[in-house]
Amino acid sequence: MCGIAGKLVFDPAARVCEGDVLRMIAPLAHRGPDGRGVYLDRNVGLGHCRLSIIDLSAGAQPMANEDETIWIVFNGEIYNFPELRDRLLSKGHVFRSRSDTEVIIHLYEDLGLDCVNELRGMFAFALWDSKRRRLFLARDRVGIKPLYYCQTGKALYFASELKGIVADPEVSRDLSYNALRTFLDFNYVPGEDTLFKSVRKLLPGHYLVAERGQVAIRQYWDLRFTKERWSKPFEEVVEELHGLLGSTVRDHMIADVPVGVLLSGGVDSSAVLSFAVQGTDKKVSTFTVGFDGDQVVDERPYARMAAQRFGTKHHEISISAEDFWNFLPAYVWHMEEPVCEPPAVALYYVSKLARNHVKVLLSGEGGDEAFAGYPNYPNMMRLERFRSALGPFARPVGAVAAFAGKLSGDDRVERYGAALGRSLSSHYFSRTSGPTAFFNQNAEKFLTREFQESTASVSPAEYIGGLLNAINGESLLNQMLYVDSKTWLPDDLLVKADKITMANSLELRVPLLDHKVLEFAASLPTEFKVKGRETKRILKAAFARVLPPEVLNRKKAGFPVPYETWLRNGLKNKIADVLLSERALSRGYFQKAAVNRLLQADARNGGYAKEVFSLLAAELWHQQFVDAAPAAGRNAAEAGTTASFVSAGMKAGAGRL
């Protein structure tokens, strides 16, 4: 796990200097505190900061082949590298290390751009082929590892984090108002866009090639649903899945440093733990987090139960509303874009605890997206069956139900009626962005006219509809899983997983998002994943023999950060000070009266915590990435409160960049 960055100037007579590359990797130091390196070849420069996990003595980067005609900087882990290495050795390739990084170089020598198809793992890399004068960037299939790029008329820039790119003074920091509007709709920014017009995300399952002044992007993998296991008995497939997950988790245990497990107390993380203890002869450390205060769901008893069952060395931490508030500036700095993901705060504190004991953590992230673990999946399936039965009467029946629910004050009936009247894409957008899709539905009342006029016509339902059309003809469940794998998973959950753990120089691995596991899940019939109200059916069956029933059958919770209560009570005045400040309102996005009404409504009745948190994240993002220089972040993250963060950021200034 590392940070990578670099620059290719299109003019072959130009020169990239070491300072250019060092400037880009400086803001990524938390990703790789164990070393840094730079490679220069006239108009190209590659930079790397290393978190050493495999081959601690000989795995330094940038790394080259024997004749130093091919160089690479790599972030991630390739779990099938031992077998690939053996295959390449049998073909006569000469290795100078035991690292997975070197395997990519020699695989590229054999297969060229198609080498990505052989890699099993999480990765983002930049490979420089000096003979062809070709720069090759690639990102893993699911988007576990981030990779940003910027193409100007003069150069191509890339980095593991957005901060690395905007560190170059030649890169424009002009704000994308369309992306900001999209964030307000989705609570994150899906797809290629970022909040800077000039910087884009390389999509999961894609690679980029820059050669002879031309830049091309290609997709090399997509999630495809098959019927490979539709004719097999359920019990037989359960055994097959059990074996696949066992081997996958064992592969994810490969490391030359201590490995632990992030334990939420749910099925997925407990299942990962059950295999992790089989994949090592050392005692496994587990880590979980709880929250101070009343009326808070506490995961710790279930985590302790799983830890006791598998004999781990268990560690816990508890956080408070004050801890939550103090971390928010650093949260925004590390996330780099305003993502509404409060559980990231819990992840930060528990990964900070873990870093005192291990360098690698395994997580159960992804089980819900692979095997349909969210209750919304069966809810949507029932809704669509009802809508189909009503036929052309669905819309008028829905309108009557919505009106009746509104009159009676029954929110559930009102929402259900409204859902009957929507298209699938419109309702699924509403499902993923919150019950009310507040900023989308209340744009005229909440957003200023100037902000609305500065953004192009954005239709979130059309965006979702385009993804649904890409797999038209698939079952409703598969359509929903596909949409989530293209939006919510890479642009929210995995952003959190990577950037917040890397904030503590800790590598997080997600075995349930191994592409072989995803392809297995995509080959199953619907009833193997969802049957009636039961979700994640086959995954639960695969672990019924090893997990405590209390863990296996409990209601899904995850890391249930009680941020709604905190925002409504102890933090409400602090939030109002930020969102109603002259500084925030002068940006010209939101109407002051509307912001005030929203804060009052949430403080009085609740229900708007996600919207309030989104506004707070957006404002803190502006303070750090627009008002102050991005280089201020590391010092600012240590400064504590929002006020001291801004002060520290302004004083640190642009000189460090």
For 102-127, the pLDDT digits (tens) are 999 999 999 999 999 999 999 999 99
Rounded to two decimals, the pTM is 0.92
Q: Are residues 480 and 493 in the same domain?
A: no
> Which CATH number covers residue 517?
3.40.50.620
Q: Are residues 544 and 631 in the same domain?
A: no
> Which CATH number covers residue 93?
3.60.20.10
Q: Are residues 459 and 527 in the same domain?
A: no
Mean pLDDT of 46-64: 85
Last residue of a domain, one of 485, 509, 528: 485
In a domain, 638, yes or no: yes
Partnered with residue 200 across adjacent β-strands are 149, 193
Average pLDDT along the chain: 88
Beta sheet of 360-362, edge-to-edge order: 313-319, 285-291, 259-262, 360-362, 507-509
Sign of torsion over alpha carbons 256, 261, 262, 268: positive
In a domain, 175, yes or no: yes
Residue 628 has pLDDT above 90, yes or no: no
In a domain, 229, yes or no: no
Q: Are residues 22 and 157 in the same domain?
A: yes
**Of 31, 17, 27, 37, nearest in space to 155 by CA:** 17
Residue-level pLDDT at 642: 34
pLDDT tens column, 396-453: 877 777 767 777 777 677 766 777 767 777 767 765 554 457 887 788 889 999 998 8
In a domain, 397, yes or no: yes
Q: Are residues 468 and 587 in the same domain?
A: no
Residue 295 has pLDDT above 80, yes or no: no
- Distance of alpha carbon 323 from alpha carbon 444, whole angstroms: 36
Residue-level pLDDT at 440: 77
In a domain, 54, yes or no: yes
pLDDT tens column, 526-551: 999 999 999 999 999 998 888 888 77
Q: Which residues are catalytic?
A: 2
Q: Are residues 385 and 520 in the same domain?
A: no
Q: Are residues 187 and 245 in the same domain?
A: no
Q: Which two tokens stand for residue 216?
A: 């091309």
Last residue of a domain, one of 528, 552, 576: 552
Mean pLDDT of 577-590: 95
Residue-level pLDDT at 51: 83
Q: Are residues 512 and 573 in the same domain?
A: no
Full 3-state SS string of 123-192: EEEEEEECCCCEEEEEECCCCCCCCEEEECCCEEEEECCHHHHHCCCCCCCCECHHHHHHHHHHCCCCCC
Domain interval for residue 455: 376-485
pLDDT tens column, 3-23: 999 999 999 999 999 999 999
Last residue of a domain, one of 435, 460, 485: 485
**Of 159, 147, 150, 132, nearest in space to 48 by CA:** 159
In a domain, 461, yes or no: yes
Q: Are residues 294 and 164 in the same domain?
A: no
Residue-level pLDDT at 404: 78
In a domain, 8, yes or no: yes
Residue-level pLDDT at 162: 96
Q: Which two tokens stand for residue 230?
A: 């539709």
Number of domains in the chain: 4
Q: Which two tokens stand for residue 496?
A: 């959190």
**Of 150, 121, 118, nearest in space to 137 by CA:** 150
pLDDT tens column, 220-278: 999 999 999 999 999 999 999 999 999 999 999 988 889 999 998 788 999 999 999 98
Angle at 404 (CA atoms; ends 402, 405), nearest 5 degrees: 65
pLDDT tens column, 126-141: 999 999 999 999 999 9
Q: Are residues 440 and 517 in the same domain?
A: no
Q: Are residues 87 and 169 in the same domain?
A: yes
In a domain, 159, yes or no: yes
The pairing of beta strand 259-262 with beta strand 360-362? parallel
Residue-level pLDDT at 655: 24
Q: Are residues 64 and 187 in the same domain?
A: yes
- Distance of alpha carbon 240 from alpha carbon 493, whole angstroms: 27
